[in-house]
Structure 1
Amino acid sequence: METLLKLGRTPIGIIVPAFTILLVVFGIPIVLLFLTSLNAPAFSIFNYQAFLGQRANVRVLFQTIEVSVIATAICVIIGYPTAYLIAAASKRLRMTLIVLVIIPYLTSLLARTYAWIVILGDRGLINNLLLELELISSPLPLIYNRMAVYIGMVHIMLPMMILPLVSVMLGIDKSLTAAARSMGARPFAAFWRVFLPLSLPGVRSGSVLVFVLCLGFYITPAALGGLRDAMLSTFIAAQVSSSFNMARTAAAAFILLGIAAVMLFILGLDLSDTQGGAARPARSSWLSRLPSLSTLTRYLNELATPYRARRWTAKLYQAKSDSRWSQIPGTALVALVMVYLLFPGLVVIIMSFSAGMFLEFPPSGLSLKWYRSFFGDPSWKGAAWTSIQVGVAAAILSTIVGTLAAYGLSRTSPRFRSLLTMVILTPITFPVIVVGIAAYLGMANLGLIGSMTGIVLAHSIGAIAYVVVIVSGTLANFDRRLEQAAKSMRAGPLQTFRRITLPLIAPGVIGGAVFAFIHSFDEVVISSFISGLSIRTLPLKMWENIRHEIDPTIAAVASLLMLLPVLWLIAIYITWWSRPRMKRVPSDPAN
C-alpha cells in the first residue's frame, strides 16, 4: 500500500489514470481491431486484398483522398492570408477577430451543417432569393453535390487552419522582416524570404490536422453530398449498420488510418510552443532541390542585385506612404471570411423565429412556436437532458484525469513528455470513424454498449486530450518556484498542489472542462456506435431528423446550440480575467 502511495506521488503515477482509460477504451481495442483485420491468428492480408480488389471501394478511397486534399488546399489558400491579416492587426481588433473565428469553431458541427442545408436547399435562402428576383425559373442544384460538400467542410475546418497559423505568426519576431526592409527588400520579397519560411510550421500543423480530420468526415458529406460523393467513412458506417463484418470493416478502417499515418509521418505535427520560432530553421522546400530551378533563381537574384541597390538608395529617405487604399483588399478579405464563418449561423437563428409552417428567410412573421415545440416535445427534452448528463459526467471525469496527466507530464523530461502527449492526443488526431469503431469494440468487450457509462467513457478519451492540451499550456507559464517556496515551509505535495498550484492554474482547468463538455455534447459519430437503440443524445436526435424529415424544430435546436459558444466564451473570460494576478517570484533575491 505504501508503495502505491509513493507511486501516486510521482509524475508517472499521476499519469496512469489517463493512460488506463485510453488503453481500455481505445488502445487495446485498436490493437485487437488490427489483428482482426489480419484474420489473427492465421494472419493474412485477405481482407485488405478483398477491399482493394473491388473497383467501387478503390474509387471511394481515392475520392476520399481527393476531397480531403482539395478541402485542405482551400483552407490553406483562404486561411493563410486571413491569419496573416489577423496577426498584423492591432491588439484589440486582433482579439475581436480571433473571438469571431473561435465562435464557429466551438459551435456544434451538426448545427453548422444544418445551416448550409437551409441556405443551399432547393427552397433554401439562395434559391428563394433568385426566384423572387426572377433570375431563375426553377431551383438551382446547389446541394447534394461535390461543391456543397466542399463548402460545408471548408466552413467547419477553416477555424482549425486559421488558429494555428495565427499562433505561429504571433511568435515570429517582426524585427526580422523590418531588417529585410531596411536592406532594400520590397514588402513581398521580405515576406517571401523571411516571414513565409518562419510561418511554415503553422502551415504544416494546420494542414495535417485539417487533412486527417477531413479523412474521417462522415456527417457533412452524408448531409450535403450525393450518392457519388460518398467518402470512406460513410462506407465504413454503412458496413457497421448493415452486415457488420468486423474483419472487412477493420481492414477499411486501417486503410483510412494508414493514409493519415503516412501524412503524419511525412509532414509531422508540430504541437510544441511556437515562441521562439524565429530561431528554429524551416524545412527546405522540395522545389529548392531541383537544380534547374535553384540555378535560375540564383542567376535572377544576381541580375537584380544592382537594381535593388539603386532602389535601396532611392527609398532610404523617402517618407512612408500611409495610403489606406492598400488596406482595402485585406479588409475586404477578412470581412468576407468572417461573413462566411458567421452568416450561416445568423441565418438559422433568424429563421428559427419564423411564424410560418415552413422555414423562410426573411421570416414573414416572428414567433416562438418552434422553441415551444422543442421544449414541449418529450423526445427533444429527453435527448437534451441525456446529452447534458453525459457531457457533465465526461467533463468531470476528463477534467480530473486530464489535469493530473498534464501536471505529471509537466514534471517529466521533454522528450518523454512529447511522446506521451502524442499518445494522449491520438483520439483527436485519428479519423473519428476509426476511433468510433475502436471504442465500440472496447465497450462491447466491457458489456457497456447501450449504457450511459459506455458513452461517457467513449467521450472521455477525446475530452481528456483537450484538457491535457489546455492545462499543459497553462502550466507552461506557471512559476514552479512558488511550489518550492511552499515546500520549503513544510507543506506536503498534496497541500502544495491544493493551495498553490491549483488556484493558479484554475482558469486553464475550467477552460479544459468547458472544452471537454463541448466535445462530449457535440459528439455524434462515436455516440452512434456506443448508444445502441436505447439511448438518444441530442446530436443523434438532430441527425435522425435531418436525414429523415424536415422539421423546423431543428432550426430552434440549432440556434440554441449556436448561442452556447458565446456563453462559454463569456464564462471563460470572466474566469480568466476577473481573478487577481499573482506577482511572479523575482529571480534575484536581492531585488
Structure 2
Amino acid sequence: MDVFRDVFRNPLGLTVPALTILIVVFGLPTVFFFFASLNAPEYSLSNYQAFLYRGANLRILVQTIEVSVFATLICLVIGYPTAYLITAAPKRARIALTVLIFLPWLTSGLVRTYAWILLLGDNGLINRTLLDLGLISSPLALIYNRLAVYIGMVHIMLPVMILPLLSVMQGIDKSLMAAARGMGARPFSAFWRVFLPLSLPGVRSGTILVFVICLGFYITPQALGGLRDVMLSTLIATQIATSFNVGMVASAAFILLAIAAVMLSVFGLDSSGKQAHPDRSHRKDRPKSVFRSSVLTKGLGDRVRAAYWARELYQQGDASNWLALAGSVFLALVMTFLLLPGLLVIVMSFSGGAYLEFPPSTLSLQWYQSFFGDPSWTGALWTSVQIGLMVAVLSTIVGTLAAYGLSRTTPRIRSSVTICLMTPITLPAVVVGVAIYFGMVRLGMLGTATGIVLTQSVGATAYVVAIVSATLANFDRRLERSALSMQASPLQTFMRVTMPLIRPGVIGGALFAFIHSFDEVVQTSLVSGFSIRTLPLKMWENMRNELDPTIAAIGSVITLMPILWLVALYVTWWRAGPSARKRWLNT
C-alpha cells in the first residue's frame, strides 16, 4: 500500500512499465541497429554509400516514395470531401457513416488485400462480369501492376485519412460558415476562406499518417503488384530472409526511417492552423477619404446586395438539391468502395463450387469445414487467440497505468512521453519490425511466443494509451479528491471510483490491442523465426503459394469480428449509465 501511495504521489512512475517494454524491445535495439549501420566501432558511411550507389536500390527507394506520395494524394482527394459530407450530415446519419468508416479500418488488411485479389484477378469478379456481358474478349490486366497496388493501398489507408479529418471538422463552429454566407460570400468562397483553413490541422495529420504508413507497406504491394512494383520494405524483408547482412539491412531501414522523420518534423511543426490576416493592418491604415467614400456608397451597395440575394434565393433551391444529390452519390460510391470487398468475401465464402464465384451457384459450408477440419488452420487460429489474449492483457495493464499517470503530469511531460509511446505506430512497420528483430536476436527470444507477445505489445500499448487517455481527458478529478477526503486509500479510490468511470475506455483499448495482435503480419513474420505460425502468417503463406478458397471462410470470420467488437463496446458504454455515457461522448 505504501508503494502504491508513493506512486500515486509521483504519477510519472506509472509510465515506467510501458516505457520499460518500449525501451527494451524497441528503443535499445534501434540504437544498436543504428550503430551497426555505421559499422561501429569503426564508424563509416560505407553501408549507406553501398546502398545509394547501387542503381537497383535507388530505383526501389524512389519508387517507394513515388507510390507513397500518389497513394496519399488519392486518399486526400477522396477523403476530404467524404469527411466534409459526413460532418454536414444529420446526427444519426453522421454516426452511422462514421461507424461504416470504422468497420473496414478495424478489418484485417490481409483480408482486404485478399478481397482485391478475388476482384481484380483474371478469373476475378470484374473480369468475369465483363466477359459475361460481352464487353471484353479476354481478361483485362487489372492485377499485378501499379494500378492494383494503388487500389489496395488506398482501400486500406482511406479510413486513416478520413478519421483525423472528421475529428477536426466536427470541432469547427458551423456558425462561422453561416456568418460568411450572411455577409455575402458565395458558398465556395465561404468554404475556401473559412472552413478550409480551420480544417488544415486534420489535413496535415491525415496526410502525414498515411504517407508514413505507406512507406512501410509490405503485404499489399507484394500481393497485388508485379516485379516492377517492389517497395523498400519488400527488399528489407527479402534481405533478412535470404542473406542477413546487418549493415545493409540497417542502412536501408534507417534511410526509410529518415524519410519518415523528415516528414514528421517538417509538417508537424505548425499545427495551430492559424491564418494570417494581412488585410487587417491594411484596413486599419486606410486614408480617411476612402472611409468617407465607403460611407457615401454604402446605401448603393446595400441595394445591390439586396437585389443579388433576392435572385439567389430563387436559384438556391435547385442548386442545393443538385449538390445534395451529388454528395449522396459520392458518399455511396466511397462506402461501396470501402465495404463491398469485405461483403463479397463473405458471400463468396459460401460458394459450393470447386472455386469461388459470385453470386454462388450453390450454397455450401465446404470452405468452413475445410478450415475447421484442418489442424494446421485451427492450430494457427488457436495460436493467434492465445497470443492476442496475452498481448491484450499485458498492453491493457501497462497502457492504462501509463495513461492514468500521464493524465496527472504537466502538459509538456505528458506530450513528450506520449510521443515516445506512440512511436511504434507512427513509424513504418517494417522499420519497427527490423529493429525489434535485431533486439529479439540479442535477447535470444527469436521464434518464441514470448518474443512475439513483446513485439506486438509495443504497438498495442500505444493504442491503449491513446484510447484510455481520451477517456481520462474529461474525467472529473473532484470525485477522486472526495473519496480521498473520506479516508479512502489511493488504491481504493482508483478501483472504486476511477476504474468504473473509465471502464469503457479500458475495454475499448483491450479490444483494439487484441485486434492489433490478431492482424499483425509484418513484425510477427520477422520475429516468429518460421517456428510459430499465427493465423495471419498462415493466410499470408497460402496467399503467396496458391489462392486457397479456405481463406475466404477465414476472411469472412475476421471481417465479422469488428462488428462483435463494436457491439461489445456499445453494451459496455450503455451499461455505464447516463453520466458516464455523456463523459464518454465528450471525449
Tell me the TM-score normalized by structure 2.
0.92
Tell me the distance in 2 between the aligned counterparts of 1:583 and 1:370.
Answer: 44
Tell me the distance in 2 between the aligned counterparts of 1:550 and 1:112.
Answer: 14
Deviation at 1:314, TM superposition (A): 2.6
What is the correspondence of 1:58-207 to structure 2 with a 5 Å cutoff? Answer: 58-207=58-207
Deviation at 1:440, TM superposition (A): 0.9
Match in the other structure for 2:388: 391
- Relative to structure 1, the CA distance from residue 281 to residue 163 in structure 2 (aligned partners, 3 Å threshold; closer, same or farther) is closer
Matching of residue 536 in structure 1 with residue 529 in structure 2: no
Match in the other structure for 2:290: none
Q: Deviations over 1:485-535 (max 9, x none)?
A: 111111111111111000000000000000000000000011101111210
Q: Deviations over 1:99-148 (max 9, x none)?
A: 10000000001000000000000100011011111221211110000000
Tell me the distance in 1 between the aligned counterparts of 2:304 and 2:529.
Answer: 71
SS in 2 for 1:465: helix
SS in 2 for 1:520: helix
What is the correspondence of 1:41-440 to structure 2 with a 5 Å cutoff? Answer: 41-268=41-268, 280-282=272-274, 312-315=305-308, 319=313, 321-323=316-318, 324-440=321-437
Deviation at 1:311, TM superposition (A): 5.7
Task: Determine if contact 1:111/1:558 at 8 Å carries over to the other structure.
Answer: yes
Task: Determine if contact 1:183/1:312 at 8 Å carries over to the other structure.
Answer: no
Match in the other structure for 2:480: 483
Match in the other structure for 1:276: none
Tell me the distance in 2 between the aligned counterparts of 1:260 and 1:118.
Answer: 32
Aligned residue type for 1:59: R
SS in 1 for 2:409: coil
SS in 2 for 1:425: helix
Matching of residue 580 in structure 1 with residue 577 in structure 2: yes
Tell me the distance in 1 between the aligned counterparts of 2:246 and 2:552.
Answer: 37
Task: Determine if contact 1:205/1:269 at 8 Å carries over to the other structure.
Answer: no
Deviation at 1:310, TM superposition (A): 6.3
Tell me the distance in 1 between the aligned counterparts of 2:80 and 2:46.
Answer: 43
Q: Deviations over 1:319-374 (max 9, x none)?
A: 58444233111001000000000000111111110000111111111100000100
Deviation at 1:313, TM superposition (A): 2.5
- Relative to structure 1, the CA distance from residue 269 to residue 487 in structure 2 (aligned partners, 3 Å threshold; closer, same or farther) is farther
Query: Identity of counterpart residues, as a percentage?
Result: 66
- Relative to structure 1, the CA distance from residue 181 to residue 9 in structure 2 (aligned partners, 3 Å threshold; closer, same or farther) is same
Q: Deviations over 1:72-92 (max 9, x none)?
A: 000000000000000000000
Task: Determine if contact 2:573/2:581 at 8 Å carries over to the other structure.
Answer: no
Task: Determine if contact 1:61/1:231 at 8 Å carries over to the other structure.
Answer: yes
Tell me the distance in 2 between the aligned counterparts of 1:27 and 1:259.
Answer: 19
Tell me the distance in 2 between the aligned counterparts of 1:407 and 1:475.
Answer: 7
316-325 or 185-194: bigger deviation: 316-325
Q: Which of the residues 475, 500, 506 maps onto 2:503? A: 506
Tell me the distance in 1 between the aligned counterparts of 2:521 and 2:301.
Answer: 58
What is the correspondence of 1:15-30 to structure 2 with a 5 Å cutoff? Answer: 15-30=15-30
Match in the other structure for 2:468: 471
Tell me the distance in 2 between the aligned counterparts of 1:3 and 1:132.
Answer: 73
Tell me the distance in 2 between the aligned counterparts of 1:41 and 1:5.
Answer: 45
Task: Determine if contact 1:395/1:516 at 8 Å carries over to the other structure.
Answer: yes
Tell me the distance in 2 between the aligned counterparts of 1:489 and 1:466.
Answer: 35
Aligned residue type for 2:116: W
Deviation at 1:579, TM superposition (A): 1.8
Tell me the distance in 1 between the aligned counterparts of 2:559 and 2:269.
Answer: 30
The number of residue pairs the alignment matches comes to 559
- Relative to structure 1, the CA distance from residue 88 to residue 355 in structure 2 (aligned partners, 3 Å threshold; closer, same or farther) is same
Deviation at 1:582, TM superposition (A): 3.5
- Relative to structure 1, the CA distance from residue 483 to residue 259 in structure 2 (aligned partners, 3 Å threshold; closer, same or farther) is same
Tell me the distance in 1 between the aligned counterparts of 2:562 and 2:317.
Answer: 38
Q: Deviations over 1:238-278 (max 9, x none)?
A: 100011001100000000000000000111189x9xxxxxx
Aligned residue type for 2:435: A
SS in 2 for 1:509: helix
Task: Determine if contact 1:200/1:282 at 8 Å carries over to the other structure.
Answer: no
Deviation at 1:282, TM superposition (A): 2.7
Deviation at 1:580, TM superposition (A): 1.0
- Relative to structure 1, the CA distance from residue 553 to residue 8 in structure 2 (aligned partners, 3 Å threshold; closer, same or farther) is same
Deviation at 1:2, TM superposition (A): 6.5
Task: Determine if contact 2:146/2:225 at 8 Å carries over to the other structure.
Answer: yes
Q: Displaced runs of 4+ in structure 1, greater than 6 A?
A: 1-5, 305-310
Deviation at 1:441, TM superposition (A): 1.4
Tell me the distance in 1 between the aligned counterparts of 2:382 and 2:301.
Answer: 67
Task: Determine if contact 2:104/2:338 at 8 Å carries over to the other structure.
Answer: yes
Task: Determine if contact 2:200/2:273 at 8 Å carries over to the other structure.
Answer: no
What is the correspondence of 1:543-562 to structure 2 with a 5 Å cutoff? Answer: 543-562=540-559
Deviation at 1:6, TM superposition (A): 2.2
Deviation at 1:316, TM superposition (A): 5.0
Task: Determine if contact 1:149/1:221 at 8 Å carries over to the other structure.
Answer: yes
Tell me the distance in 1 between the aligned counterparts of 2:83 and 2:552.
Answer: 31
Q: Deviations over 1:25-48 (max 9, x none)?
A: 000000011000001111111000
Deviation at 1:8, TM superposition (A): 6.4
SS in 1 for 2:364: coil
Tell me the distance in 1 between the aligned counterparts of 2:435 and 2:4.
Answer: 31
Structure 1 alignment gaps of length 5 or more? 273-279, 289-304, 586-591
Task: Determine if contact 1:201/1:282 at 8 Å carries over to the other structure.
Answer: no
Tell me the distance in 1 between the aligned counterparts of 2:128 and 2:276.
Answer: 50
357-366 or 381-390: bigger deviation: 357-366
Deviation at 1:415, TM superposition (A): 1.2
Deviation at 1:576, TM superposition (A): 1.0
Tell me the distance in 1 between the aligned counterparts of 2:434 and 2:301.
Answer: 60
Q: Which of the residues 494, 500, 504 maps onto 1:497? A: 494
Tell me the distance in 2 between the aligned counterparts of 1:388 and 1:451.
Answer: 16
Tell me the distance in 1 between the aligned counterparts of 2:407 and 2:275.
Answer: 28
SS in 1 for 2:578: coil
Q: Which of the residues 519, 543, 551 maps onto 1:522? A: 519
Task: Determine if contact 1:386/1:536 at 8 Å carries over to the other structure.
Answer: yes
Structure 2 alignment gaps of length 5 or more? 280-296, 583-587
Task: Determine if contact 2:144/2:224 at 8 Å carries over to the other structure.
Answer: yes
Aligned residue type for 1:35: F
Aligned residue type for 1:368: L
Tell me the distance in 1 between the aligned counterparts of 2:31 and 2:325.
Answer: 54
Tell me the distance in 2 between the aligned counterparts of 1:269 and 1:383.
Answer: 44
Tell me the distance in 1 between the aligned counterparts of 2:22 and 2:308.
Answer: 60
Tell me the distance in 2 between the aligned counterparts of 1:548 and 1:340.
Answer: 27
